[in-house]
Structure 1
Amino acid sequence: MTAMTSAEIAALLGQLTDAEKVALTAGADAWSTPAIPRVGIPALRLGDGPHGVRKPHDGAGMSMFDSHPATCFPTAVTLGSSWDAALVQEVGEALGREAASHGIAVLLGPGVNLKRTPVGGRNFEYFSEDPLIAGRLGAAWVRGVQGTGVGASLKHLAANNTEQRRYGVNAVVDERALRELYLTSFEHTVMQERPATVMAAYNQLNGEHCTENSWLLRDVLRGEWGFDGVVVSDWGAVWDRAVSLPAGNDLAMPGLGRDDDEYLLRALASGALARADLDAAVTRILDLVGRYGGPATRDRKPVDLAAHHRLARRAAAAGTVLLKNEPVANGSAAGRALLPLAAGASVAVIGAFAQEPRFQGAGSSHVVPTRVETLLEALTEARGAAQVRYASGYDRTDNTTSAALLAQAAEAARSSAVAIVVVGLPETFETEGVDRPHLRLPESHERLVATVVAANPATVVVLQNGSPVELPWLDSVPAVVEAYLGGQAGGGALSAVLVGEAEPGGRLAETFPVSYATHPVSAMPNGPATVEYRESLYVGYRYFDAVGEPVAFPFGHGLSYTSFAWTDASLVVGADGASAVIELLVANTGERAGSDVVQVYVHDVESALFRPEQELRGFAKVSLMPGESERVSITLDSRAFSYWDPAKHSWVLEPGRFDVRVARSSRDMVWSGSIGLAGAGAGGPDGAGGVEGASVPTGIPAYRSPSRERGFTAGDFERLLGHPLPPNTGAWPGQYTLDTAVRDMRHTPVGRILARYLKREAIKTIGAPEGAPVDAVAADVVAQLNFRMFPTVSDATVSRRRTEQLLRLVNLLSGIRLPGTRRRS
């Protein structure tokens, strides 16, 4: 098919039977929409993923491992630390080309959810804790992919920030936090780039599942932001199409089986499902098939995989963050930072990750790479075999170490000029489907660092991980490199950075706390029925900077191999009185080529509503040769100074003074200026103001003047919400519901039986090979599943109707009296 006019779509819609319309609103299988040859409608293929194309082989279903090889690019955590929209767009273009070569019409990505908490199991798949970075880089990703004729799927709308009980947990978020943080990255991407699809998340948002939330999908996404594409569910997130279709979820993925189609036809005949709602969804799906079904299914051009590998290596280096780089205490090279490695210096490469790297996330985005570069191979090639020694230090399969392995590591470190220790988070420590219980590295990795530093003070610690970790040994090592998850070319990129052939171009797009205990979310409830966003606006650096909490490394931090001077700054208010332009001269004053990131934060001097100490409102990445300079100009529009007013349900720019801070990180200010703005009601997308409402409490101490001692209590949060918190035990106390997670039933015999069954089915569905990392964490991942997911996990063997029957049986076997029933005497 080709793109059709609205009249052509309407004519095609009129040719379809009710059964064909119903079929089009759910997948024909795990990855495709139904084809209807009778009227010339082809199947539309969707596919993962955000950092590499995952197309399972024929017959492999939803397998995460039995897939066609594809370039594995750095994950979003690495791309996010690049702060480079142009680079992310290049990656998007490459992903689009590879998707098209595999006949994939819609690529599932990018993920622009925020990193609310550092223990989020899927944080590696998201860009940042800040919505400005997430929105701009997400838009660049969409722009790149869709420029190749392949559609994007912006995900996961909305407040999908935890993997614990993610399939049914109710995210309770106050209106300001929702608008100013959790919806902002989606809003920016939708309004700037018009993605082909938006993916509705699993979780509930303030009491309604996202796939059934008409306020979210119809009022905000379509009404306010003008989205006219297809809303597709996350895989298994739709339970009842008679509810989700009217709410605005057009396409339920994967297929739900013939029984579910027949159910929906009965709902249509009875009037429970309005024909207009069905026709509206099918109209959007036909438009999607017409726009994106053609190029991806017929134009399978050869892909230059070698060029894509080189791009992946460049992106990995651009996202590598040099966290620390100091001279070695009492070292021979006094005054010289340890990195880049001195020419001719012998190197001990220590840590199994150097030979068997952790280079991508675990879960649905898993890619079978076309090739993998390791740090050990690349560094040996760069320095010569005689200059490089290797010791594994720990066992890669079970994350353990031994006295013998540690002794070998110490001996290698002592006999070399510099020791490079590669540690991080194994796949079993962070994965889609389960959150981390802490921020610590494996004990074996911690012991290895301590052993190597004791043997050789000239130690570089390299981290391979998808989210922050605690660094108890930080003060004892002179250099730390955050490599994140660099994709298949990450080893080559890391070697180039260490020897100085490439610069460490990254800056942190998230805060590294000293410990998880210092993070506000660590003290908040997460389940069983709700997750309370008690911190409101104080996410990431917004919290740490407001309360003055020490951090290991601040948001925006990153060192360079060269030096930069920022001078001649100026700040001018726009002609509209509601915007501003900041300009400055950035010069490379060092001896190496390099890049720097200019960050602009705004501080509201006095506000009627509480606001964080400062918020990132602009940034620019500048690449310069030695001696070069560039004048940087960053425009701050009215939204940069506005807040969401819950009383008016609109954006408001309050008149007054604002400090504009130019910085290298949220804790490293270079210049600050002050301006006065006249103020205005920013309103919605059309500039209209909102509806007047009741005043919202603003004097709650926890929010007006947050402190780490006071924290954010349930009472404070209730006052902020303006209503009592929902119960955290389910719809009825003591009763299992469709949203009950298996982990909350494991104390019962029937719960243990279900857990065993679901683990077996899940491993079969994703095609995990013997001994795969997913097998080791399958029990924890399965424990998050709820009854709503049974049809998906069982490949529709357990239908929706059978699931409902099973739920009733489980409650009866557990001795639970259901509403409307009487217990037998």
Structure 2
Amino acid sequence: MTVEDIADIADDRAALVELAARLTREEKIDLVSGRGLFSTAPIPRLGIPAIVMVDGPNGLRYVPDQITREDADLGAFLAAVRTGGEDEEAGASLLLGDSLPATCFPAASALANSWDVGLSFRMGAALATEARALGVSILLGPGINLRRCPLAGRGFEYYSEDPVLSGDMAAGMINGLQRNGVGASLKHLACNNAEAERTSMDSVVEPRALHELYLLGFERAIAASAPWTVMTSYNRLNGTHTSADPWLLRQVLRDRWGYGGTVVSDWHGIQDRPAALVAGNDLDMPHSAARKRRLRAALAGGQVPPQALDEACVNMLALVSRARAAARTHVPTPDFAAHHRLARHLAARSCVLLANRRGALPLAPVDGETLLVVGTGARSPQIQGAGSAVVRPRACDVPLDALRALAPPGVRLLHCPGWADDGTPDTARHAEALAAARGARSVVVFASTPPSVSGENADRRSLDLLAAHDALISELARTHDRVIVVLTHPDAVLLPWADDVAAILSAGYAGQGFGGAIADLLFGHANPSGKLSVTWPARIEDCPALPGFPGENGKHLYREGIFVGYRHYDRKRIAPLFPFGFGLSYTRFRYSDLVLDSAALAPGQDLAVHCTVTNTGTRAGHEICQLYLGRDASQRGTGPDHPDRALKSFSVVELAPGESRQVTFTLGPRDFAWFDVASNGWRVPDGMVTIEVGASSRDIRLSAPLRVTGDGTAARRLTLHTPPGIVLATDHARRLLVPWLAGQMTADDTAADALLERCGASFLGLYDTLSWSLGREPDEDGLIALLDRINHANGIVTDEGTA
């Protein structure tokens, strides 16, 4: 077989199995182990080529020396992880050693504010053309871990606090990559939500929250895009390293979700290579002679069955074959100028207008007026975070230059740094900015968090901007009524002056097109349309994940359960600084004519929801319509608890002034379901729900009731220690218990039923209550067997380890 021949068997499982059988054991071990830092091992004897994979999710980080060398130098790996994202000089992009220049697009946390899956696809397609030009087969992204806490170091790499938005945006990116011949690596499975001790920390998550939140985004992305690879995380999950967790990699990923691709470790993320292989982790990255030795010894000693190695080899050969087949397809040569324009467009669509008072924006200075720009970020902007996702940008729009280019003729544009170049206070620069503001029509301040505050191996210590930035903004706002603040930051930040300034524009880490995008938005050449993909707290103490973050004594307890992000703020009736899904525009939108195609939903039925959105303003704009499933507080205590509302769908609609358009959402049965731990599956509850459509989680414009007929009352797993009242309320319990108890009593069914009824008020367990009532101990083994029958009849999983 030649290198070209292997491309012909990507979808031929039998041929892949036959090819795997021709490998020697040593070749098999090579194939499931990396070569160097970013390559798989070739098997020249059989014409099996190596394939290259590189970071990162918002731009290629391609270092030729790291690609070509066959050993995996730990120093090079650690250097990549610790790379900072700040610029070295005004207007210049960071020189990342020998990293080749590439387009630096917005980080996932910023792009998610667009809520536009189509834009995510376009970004993926552009990344694919740049990857193909360098012979790269797999891009190591997107990352999809929930932004559970805004202190998390890598939060800027992830999309949202909500799994629906996260999963759908990730699917757009993956499809854009893979339809253009480059595989994706959906990461990090699962619950890698903090950086502290990340290779040993145990994320302890109760099963319902795990399935409904932390796994749901992965499930949605996989169903909609079939990523070539899925990457496991560094951490442990409920006691087991994810890289070696058969429940996660086999029962959930393979069996429940039907994933058919290749599982790859995070870099040096495997602690026990033999266990990881048996669990279903196909590829150990990067190369490690020590881990290969342990695998070789385990195979020789019989601790690893040869079938596990063969299975991993088949999955690896399928990946290599798919990559070679994709390499045959034509993609255009990268048009970096077009990619820069796309980066600028994505940045503009991702910015969120958080406040706009007194018509401060868009700027409309006239001849003779002065526009003051404050902040070192106007010359050397923060466009990305730190760590493996850092890109060496091919270009970088400087905000100050872009503002000068768009300023109307005759407008004087001044710049004052405001603070020292490193962001610390500078008394002279502070005073200079205050003095210059007195003669300015408007003041635009570029403020940020500390450089490289977010990245791998470290979490944020606070949600504050740099102190010098906050201090100058507060003082400017006391003396000037048109202070406009532009924010660059990794995640939510605290804004003590939020009510005092005229306007706030959040950009996040917007990539190399940031400067041009901000100029477009400030001068009204583009209309802000982004909406927040996370909740911004008014105080750090309001964050639901704060207690115990980022873990202690090796455990990170996810105490908030299903109440993450806006779900927590809604339940606790806490007013956030800015709610999930919030964002302003230069125009206005009206919602009307909500129609459900059915007022009652039968089991297994889909639901279509329609509404009309009208642009009632004078500018064209995009509106992000959000559909939530609401549940009334009066239903609490009658069954499983649910969030007050949960996002189920969204749609971006572009409207000219005066234009109306009907928006349609389609909801399936899973959108109404919760994860029932007892039955280890999804269950739709009976009852009334509310279909809510609005402009944010706190701005519901339309609502309608819906009666849902579920798939039966949720049951719980019964044991000897379950109180009798709960047992008797369970389907099938009384029917099966009465004749068994009659036999224990040597009485008729009527007497047994009466005894059970009396037992129903006991708070003790069923076995203890029956013992007291009978005056002797009943047949314990018989009662256990009977309860198993009841559990089985109700579809309850009796092996708790599978939940």
- What TM-score does the superposition give when structure 2 sets the normalisation length? 0.82
Shift of 1:343: 4.9
After TM superposition, the structure 1 = structure 2 runs for residues 201-280 of structure 1, keeping only pairs within 5 Å, are 201-257=233-289, 259-280=290-311
1:611 to 620, 627, 642: 642
Name the counterpart of 1:122: 154
CA distance in 1, matches of 2:329, 2:288: 28
Q: Deviations over 1:724-766 (max 9, x none)?
A: xxxxxxxxxxxxxxxxxxxxxxxxxxxxxxxxxxxxxxxxxxx
Name the counterpart of 2:420: 395
Contact 2:484–2:502 (CA under 8 A) maintained in structure 1: yes
After TM superposition, the structure 1 = structure 2 runs for residues 357-756 of structure 1, keeping only pairs within 5 Å, are 357-383=381-407, 387-397=412-422, 399-524=423-548, 526-573=551-598, 576-577=602-603, 578-605=605-632, 606=635, 608-680=639-711
Contact 1:101–1:299 (CA under 8 A) maintained in structure 2: no
After TM superposition, the structure 1 = structure 2 runs for residues 41-60 of structure 1, keeping only pairs within 5 Å, are 41-59=48-66
Contact 1:100–1:299 (CA under 8 A) maintained in structure 2: no
CA distance in 1, matches of 2:449, 2:372: 21
Contact 1:661–1:672 (CA under 8 A) maintained in structure 2: yes
2:196 to 161, 164, 183: 164
Aligned residue type for 1:377: D
Q: Deviations over 1:361-412 (max 9, x none)?
A: 1110000011000111100111168521101112233x21211010121122
Aligned residue type for 1:219: Q
CA distance in 2, matches of 1:236, 1:408: 50
Contact 1:647–1:696 (CA under 8 A) maintained in structure 2: no
| 1:339 is aligned to 2:362 | yes
Contact 2:181–2:329 (CA under 8 A) maintained in structure 1: no
Shift of 1:691: 10
CA distance in 2, matches of 1:77, 1:409: 31
Classify 1:278/1:9 alpha carbon distance in 2 versus 1 (closer, same or farther; 3 Å).
Answer: same
Shift of 1:146: 0.4
Name the counterpart of 1:153: 185
Name the counterpart of 1:303: 334
2:32 to 15, 25, 37: 25
Shift of 1:576: 4.4
Shift of 1:295: 3.7
Secondary structure of the structure 1 residue equivalent to 2:319: helix
Aligned residue type for 1:557: F
Secondary structure of the structure 2 residue equivalent to 1:512: coil
After TM superposition, the structure 1 = structure 2 runs for residues 166-205 of structure 1, keeping only pairs within 5 Å, are 166-205=198-237
Secondary structure of the structure 2 residue equivalent to 1:423: strand
CA distance in 2, matches of 1:569, 1:209: 47
Secondary structure of the structure 1 residue equivalent to 2:597: strand
Name the counterpart of 2:348: 317
Secondary structure of the structure 1 residue equivalent to 2:648: strand
Q: Deviations over 1:305-345 (max 9, x none)?
A: 11111111111011100000011xxxxxxxx3443444555
Name the counterpart of 1:775: none
Contact 1:358–1:426 (CA under 8 A) maintained in structure 2: no
CA distance in 1, matches of 2:698, 2:364: 28
1:290 to 321, 325, 328: 321
Secondary structure of the structure 1 residue equivalent to 2:400: helix
Contact 2:32–2:313 (CA under 8 A) maintained in structure 1: yes
Contact 1:569–1:671 (CA under 8 A) maintained in structure 2: yes
Q: Deviations over 1:527-569 (max 9, x none)?
A: 2300000000110000001111111100110000011111111
CA distance in 1, matches of 2:688, 2:259: 35
Shift of 1:517: 1.2
Shift of 1:299: 6.3
CA distance in 1, matches of 2:107, 2:145: 14
Secondary structure of the structure 1 residue equivalent to 2:499: helix
Which deviates more from structure 2 when the two are superposed, residues 282-291 or residues 601-610? Answer: 601-610
Contact 2:104–2:343 (CA under 8 A) maintained in structure 1: yes
| 1:9 is aligned to 2:16 | yes
Aligned residue type for 2:374: I
Classify 1:365/1:297 alpha carbon distance in 2 versus 1 (closer, same or farther; 3 Å).
Answer: farther
Quick check: which has more Rg, 1 or 2? 2
Shift of 1:261: 2.3
CA distance in 2, matches of 1:422, 1:406: 14
Contact 2:273–2:294 (CA under 8 A) maintained in structure 1: no
Which deviates more from structure 2 when the two are superposed, residues 512-521 or residues 151-160? Answer: 512-521
Secondary structure of the structure 1 residue equivalent to 2:354: strand
CA distance in 1, matches of 2:715, 2:53: 38
Aligned residue type for 1:79: L
CA distance in 2, matches of 1:658, 1:476: 40
CA distance in 1, matches of 2:485, 2:20: 60
Aligned residue type for 1:503: N
Name the counterpart of 2:750: none
2:109 to 64, 68, 77: 77
Shift of 1:454: 3.3
Shift of 1:59: 4.9
Which deviates more from structure 2 when the two are superposed, residues 20-29 or residues 410-419? Answer: 410-419
Secondary structure of the structure 2 residue equivalent to 1:596: strand
CA distance in 1, matches of 2:561, 2:585: 34
Classify 1:673/1:343 alpha carbon distance in 2 versus 1 (closer, same or farther; 3 Å).
Answer: farther
Name the counterpart of 1:90: 122
Aligned residue type for 1:380: R
Name the counterpart of 1:735: none
Q: Deviations over 1:232-254 (max 9, x none)?
A: 00111012211100011110111
CA distance in 2, matches of 1:385, 1:157: 55
Shift of 1:46: 0.6
Contiguous gaps of at least 5 residues in structure 2 = 1-5, 68-75, 81-95, 726-803
Name the counterpart of 1:112: 144
Shift of 1:255: 0.6
Secondary structure of the structure 1 residue equivalent to 2:64: coil
CA distance in 2, matches of 1:263, 1:207: 22
CA distance in 2, matches of 1:299, 1:25: 29
Q: Number of paired residues?
A: 682
Secondary structure of the structure 1 residue equivalent to 2:269: coil
CA distance in 2, matches of 1:681, 1:281: 40
State the identity as a percent: 39
Which deviates more from structure 2 when the two are superposed, residues 206-215 or residues 567-576? Answer: 567-576
Aligned residue type for 1:623: E
Classify 1:300/1:35 alpha carbon distance in 2 versus 1 (closer, same or farther; 3 Å).
Answer: farther
Secondary structure of the structure 2 residue equivalent to 1:558: coil
Contact 2:40–2:51 (CA under 8 A) maintained in structure 1: yes
Contact 2:601–2:707 (CA under 8 A) maintained in structure 1: no
CA distance in 1, matches of 2:238, 2:416: 51
Aligned residue type for 2:248: L
Shift of 1:575: 6.9
CA distance in 2, matches of 1:198, 1:156: 8
CA distance in 2, matches of 1:518, 1:639: 30
Secondary structure of the structure 2 residue equivalent to 1:88: helix
Secondary structure of the structure 2 residue equivalent to 1:2: helix
- What TM-score does the superposition give when structure 1 sets the normalisation length? 0.80
CA distance in 1, matches of 2:192, 2:554: 14
Structural RMSD (CA): 2.1
Classify 1:170/1:35 alpha carbon distance in 2 versus 1 (closer, same or farther; 3 Å).
Answer: same
Name the counterpart of 1:754: none
Shift of 1:456: 2.2
